[in-house]
Amino acid sequence: DGGITQSPKYLFRKEGQNVTLSCEQNLNHDAMYWYRQDPGQGLRLIYYSQIVNDFQKGDIAEGYSVSREKKESFPLTVTSAQKNPTAFYLCASSNTGDTEAFFGQGTRLTVV
């Protein structure tokens, strides 16, 4: 099946810990995105990548880091510098330009 897989579905983080959220796609898409969604709010862009080994900050990149070593993978690390990480995280992919974007099923991160 072609698509985007996010794991884990639920993640719990202790104060001061770094955690990494996985996003893998087998759609052969060039571009990948990470969004954060808080209750009752829209999606805010954290980071995006349009090509392997290159990525750009979105609107709320502070406290997050990413890598894009492989076309199919775009992991997001939530660092201890992110003071309010509890949220729903969504990964998306598309080809560049005039094409449709597809989303994974999300990871819900909770700080305990």
Partner 1 sequence: KQEVTQIPAALSVPEGENLVLNCSFTDSAIYNLQWFRQDPGKGLTSLLLIQSSQREQTSGRLNASLDKSSGRSTLYIAASQPGDSATYLCAVRGSRLTFGEGTQLTVNP
Look at residues 6, 25, 14 and name the one whose alpha carbon lies nearest to residue 108.
Answer: 6
Residue 104 as a binder of partner 1 (CB under 8 A): the answer is yes
Residue 94 as a binder of partner 1 (CB under 8 A): the answer is yes
Provide the mask over 7-46, with x wherever binding to partner 1 is found by CB under 8 A and - wherever it is not.
--------------------------x-x-----xxx-x-
CA distances (Å), 28 to each of 31, 43, 77, in order? Answer: 9, 24, 23
Rounded CA-CA distance 27/58 in Å is: 23
C-alpha 71, offset from chain centre? 14
Closer Cβ to partner 1, 18 or 38, answer by number: 38
Footprint of partner 1 (CB under 8 A):
6, 33, 35, 41-43, 45, 48, 58, 88, 90, 92, 94, 97-106, 108
